[in-house]
Amino acid sequence: MPTDFYELLDVSRDADAATIKAAYRKLALKHHPDRNRDDPDAEDTFKRLNEAYAVLSDPEKRARYDRYGEADPGVGMGGAANGDIFDIFASVFGAGFATGGSRTGPTRGQPGEDLEARLTITLEQARAGASVPLSVERMTRCDRCDGDQTEPGKEGRTTCTTCGGVGQVRQQAQSLFGTVMTQRACPRCRGAGSVVTDPCTACSGRGRNLRKDTIEVTLPEGIDGGYRLRVPGEGNAGVDGGPDGDLYVYLDLAPHEHFVRDGDDLRYPLEIGPAQAALGSSFEVPTLDGPEVLEVPAGTQHGTEFRLRGKGMPRLRRSGHGDQIVTVHVSVPKRLSRKAREALQAYAEAVGEPIHEKETLLDRIKDVFQKRKRKREEEPDDKVEA
C-alpha cells in the first residue's frame, strides 16, 4: 500500500477537488470492509483511504501536507477512532450508508446510565472556580467481582449457545452494495460470548452495587446558579465492559450575606444617614477582596450608585471581571434623642425648612381664609367690576 496520499488515491499532485472526490469514491467502495469480509487488511486500507481523503479534501490540510507531509500535527487523523472514518465515508456517500457491520463492531456490555444531581455553591466558590465535594448515590463497579458479575474462584461462566461464544450474530442487510452480511451483538449474552452461571454474591451477578460516593465537582470560574455541568464518567458504572454514564450537576447559588449577584456584577446596598449624605463621608464597604474605602461626597442623593471597577465576578469563559455596584440608601432615623431633635430643629431653622405643629398650621390656614373673607366684604363693588 503506498504511503503517499496522492499515490494512494491515484491522483496527480495538482488534481482538483472533483478529481480527488471521484477517485476517493471509486476506491472507498472497492475497499469498504463490508465488501471485503475475507480480507483482513481491508479495514486498514479503507482507513488509510479515508485519512488521505480527509486531508486532501480540506484545502488548508492539503496545503500543510504538501509542505510538511504527514509529520505536521495539523495533518492526518491523529489516531482517529473508526467511527470518524465512517463519518468521512458518510459525508461523501450520504448518511445511512455508513452503518456497515464493521462499524457497529463487537459491542460489548451496557453503558451506565447518566445521573442528575443538585449542588448549592457559594459566591466565593463560583468566583474562585473551586472544587466542591458532592455526595452522589450511584451504581458503582462491584468490588468483589470487579464488575465481572461472577463469583471469584469459580468457573463462573459458560459459553453462550446462541452465538457459540463469538458474541455476535450475523444477519443479512441491505446496503449500498446490495445484500450484505452484517454482524450485531448477540441478544442473549449481549456480546459477551458467555453467560453467568455462578453469579457474584456481593452484587447478585449485576456487576455493580448502589453506593454513596463523594466526588469533586470543579467549577469553571464565574459560574452561576442555573447552569448545568456535565461530569464525564461519574454516572452509573457500565455493565460488562460498557462505558460509565455521565453525571449532570444542576447548580444553585446560595444567598450571600453582603452581595446580590447581577450577572457579572455584584450589588451592595450602603445604608447611610441624612447627615452623612448631606455632609459627605468615607465608608468601609466589603468586597470579595476584603474591605475597601468608598468616598461618598457631600450632597449625595438617595439611590446614587458607585461602581467599584473589576470588583465583581470573573466573566465566565471570558477574560475580565464585572463591577461591584454600591447603591446609597439614605435612611431617615425613626427615633431621635432630645439632643438630636434640638439639633435638627436648629438645622431646619437655619435652612428655612419650617416645622409646623398640626394645630398651629390649621390656625394659620383659618386666619388666612378669614382675612380674605373680610377683604371681599370691605371691597364688594371692586370685586364685581373686576
Binding site for Zn ion (CB under 5 A): 142, 144-145, 160, 162-163, 186, 188-189, 200, 202-203
Q: Is 110 exposed, middle or buried (0-12, 13-18, 19+ CB in 10 A)?
A: middle
Residue 341 grid cell: 431633635
Of 160 and 247, nearer to Zn ion (C-beta) is 160
Helix (H, G, I), strand (E, B) or coil at 267: strand
Of 51 and 240, nearer to Zn ion (C-beta) is 240
Of 165 and 286, nearer to Zn ion (C-beta) is 165
Of 88 and 186, nearer to Zn ion (C-beta) is 186
Do 193 and 163 meet the contact criterion of CB atoms below 8 Å apart? yes
- Residue 372: alpha-carbon gap to chain centroid: 76
CB of 190 to Zn ion, least distance (A): 8
CB of 212 to Zn ion, least distance (A): 18
Could you say which DSSP state residue 235 is in? Answer: S
Helix (H, G, I), strand (E, B) or coil at 103: helix
Could you say which DSSP state residue 105 is in? Answer: -
Of 91 and 197, nearer to Zn ion (C-beta) is 197
CA distance 333 to 268: 21
CA distance 304 to 96: 64
Of 239 and 247, nearer to Zn ion (C-beta) is 239
CA distance 155 to 152: 8
CB of 114 to Zn ion, least distance (A): 22
CB of 24 to Zn ion, least distance (A): 37
Of 9 and 186, nearer to Zn ion (C-beta) is 186
CB of 144 to Zn ion, least distance (A): 4
CB of 167 to Zn ion, least distance (A): 6
CB of 34 to Zn ion, least distance (A): 22
CB of 210 to Zn ion, least distance (A): 12
Of 76 and 193, nearer to Zn ion (C-beta) is 193
Q: Which residue is listed with cell 447552569?
A: 227
CA distance 323 to 294: 14
Residue 340 grid cell: 438630636
Sign of CA dihedral 257, 260, 265, 271: negative
CA distance 70 to 196: 47
Q: Which residue is listed with cell 459627605?
A: 280
Edge-to-edge strand ranges of the sheet holding 247-253: 115-121, 247-253, 228-231
